[in-house]
Structure 1
Amino acid sequence: MPNPPRRTKTPHAAVEAIEPTAPIREPRGARRKRETRMRLMEAALKLMADKGMEGVAINEITEAADVGFGSFYNHFESKEAIHLALLDWVFEEFADTLDRITAELTDPAEVISVSIRHALMRARREPVWGHFLIREGLSARGLSRGLGPRLLRDIQKGIGAGRFAADDPLMSVVTIGGAVLTSIAVELRDGASSTPLTDMLKAFGYAEDQFAERAAAAMLRTLGLSRAEAVEIANRLLPVDERAIESE
């Protein structure tokens, strides 16, 4: 009589692969705390972008966030603490985004160009973010965190590779950083339709759909690139931020 077929044991790992585990649900209390903190951050960002940290009171933040005044201290020790959290959120998050989307680029000039164009395009899409960047971009923390050190790093790479003719990395950072903030201010001019600024911009051929590319080309020229090469690099196809697409 033939032996019965042997039964094989299914490895534990295989069972786990076959039977998907239910996603771990965030506890309701933790979710509410996270959402409340985010509402406070978003309200503070809008207020401080408009009036600066000194011009904003804690009760204004809690009212704008629709959060009880006492709840503020469950998340932040002071107004200064939420301001520091905003600086890290705005500068570090954007700097990390730039690092991610330029990771495959090998030309320091293109890295600088892409970073400038993304900064101007984001400011156009998110005016509150842009106004906060203008207000805080030249602060000590703004220069020492996130964007400042990365701009210095990228300029030093270009100088080291012989790509840039600039011989003073620090002053190049000051020049490029100041030009980016000024360009954002031009993009975000509010209620300026009848001001001398708008008339001047029209006289110089300002066009919103090409402004970011013109700005990037001009800044590349300050680093020593020829006009033709700077314009060509500034008009290359922008790399896509895959993570941003996935989150939509």
Structure 2
Amino acid sequence: MSTKQPGSRSERQRQRTRRLLLDSGRSLVAAKGVAKLRIQEVTESADVALGSFYNYFDSKEAFLEAIFTESLQELAATVVTDEEDPVDPAETVALGCLRIIDLANVDPDFARLVANIGHSDALFGRALHPYARVAIERGIDSGRFVAPDISVLLTSVIGGSFALIREILESRPSTHPERAFAQLVLASLGLTPGDAAEVVDKIVRSEQHSQT
């Protein structure tokens, strides 16, 4: 059991207010898009005084960065779960690739935020890197993956996913680019092309079934 003591009452209140602002902002971004987001609407939705907003965020961009980072981290956390999870590491990596890239299709407003906010490539990398490293290290430890240099691999995979999201938003490339990307990532981790395709097909079927 943790012995860490809770923060002071004022700190807990501060955390609750920040949470209210972020939750309101995410809801408004989902409903209206980034361009139409207004700070006054955020504070009204959160029932927080307009002037108080700047006690938590320096600017609208800083606020959007916080929404962006937390949303990506939450998405990654749904894929890279408890360490005792017996799921094949290749399936975990495939699922992560599919869900991240598919943001451009299922949530294009958020994907545009991902692609266009200031320093978005760095924020994207910082949000996903810890989860991606855990997923790949588990595969290496189990013997499922081979990665001569995990840091180089992570840079390539995360950078490639960011670039592909932008490509999809700008030009809509060939059908199912997220599947091709997932297969490419698995192949770079040592799976044969056939094995990689089989894993990705399995995850696609599972995702489609869960949505019906």
C-alpha distance in structure 2 between counterparts of 1:102 and 1:131, whole Å: 32
Contact 2:80–2:134 (Cα < 8 Å) also in 1: no
C-alpha distance in structure 2 between counterparts of 1:183 and 1:62, whole Å: 31
Q: Please show how residues 106-117 of structure 1 align to structure 2 within 5 Å.
A: 106-117=87-98
Corresponding residue for 1:232? Answer: 198
C-alpha distance in structure 1 between counterparts of 2:104 and 2:145, whole Å: 27
Does 2:77 correspond to 1:96?
yes
Q: 1:175 pairs with 129, 135, 156, which one? A: 156
SS at match of 1:225: coil
Q: Cα 1:137–1:185, aligned 2, differ >3 Å: closer, same or farther?
A: same
SS at match of 1:133: helix
**One-letter code of the match for 2:76?**
A
* Per-residue CA distance 1:172-223 (angstroms, 9 max, x = gap): 111111121122223222xx4xxxxx6xx4xxxx21xx33222211111112
Q: What TM-score do you get using the length of structure 2 for normalisation? A: 0.68
Contact 1:164–1:223 (Cα < 8 Å) also in 2: yes
Q: Cα 1:186–1:37, aligned 2, differ >3 Å: closer, same or farther?
A: closer
Structure 2 gaps, min length 5: 1-15
Q: 1:155 pairs with 131, 136, 140, which one? A: 136
**One-letter code of the match for 1:158?**
G
C-alpha distance in structure 1 between counterparts of 2:160 and 2:88, whole Å: 21
Corresponding residue for 2:121? Answer: 138
Corresponding residue for 1:74? Answer: 52
Q: Please show how residues 1-248 of structure 1 align to structure 2 within 5 Å.
A: 34=20, 38-43=23-28, 46-47=33-34, 61-62=38-39, 67=44, 71-77=49-55, 78-79=58-59, 81-100=62-81, 104-135=85-116, 138-139=121-122, 141-145=123-127, 147-189=128-170, 192=171, 201=173, 206-207=174-175, 210-238=176-204, 239=206
What's the CA shift for 1:94? Answer: 1.3
What's the CA shift for 1:154? Answer: 1.2
What's the CA shift for 1:99? Answer: 2.9
Structure 1 gaps, min length 5: 1-29, 51-55, 193-197
Q: Cα 1:43–1:232, aligned 2, differ >3 Å: closer, same or farther?
A: same
Q: Cα 1:40–1:118, aligned 2, differ >3 Å: closer, same or farther?
A: closer
What's the CA shift for 1:82? Answer: 1.8
Q: Rg: which structure is higher?
A: 1
**One-letter code of the match for 1:154?**
A
Q: What TM-score do you get using the length of structure 1 for normalisation? A: 0.60
RMSD of aligned alpha carbons? 3.7
SS at match of 1:164: coil
Q: In proportion to residue count, which structure has more helix?
A: 2
What is the number of residues matched between the two proteins?
A: 184
Corresponding residue for 2:10? Answer: none
Q: Cα 1:237–1:85, aligned 2, differ >3 Å: closer, same or farther?
A: closer
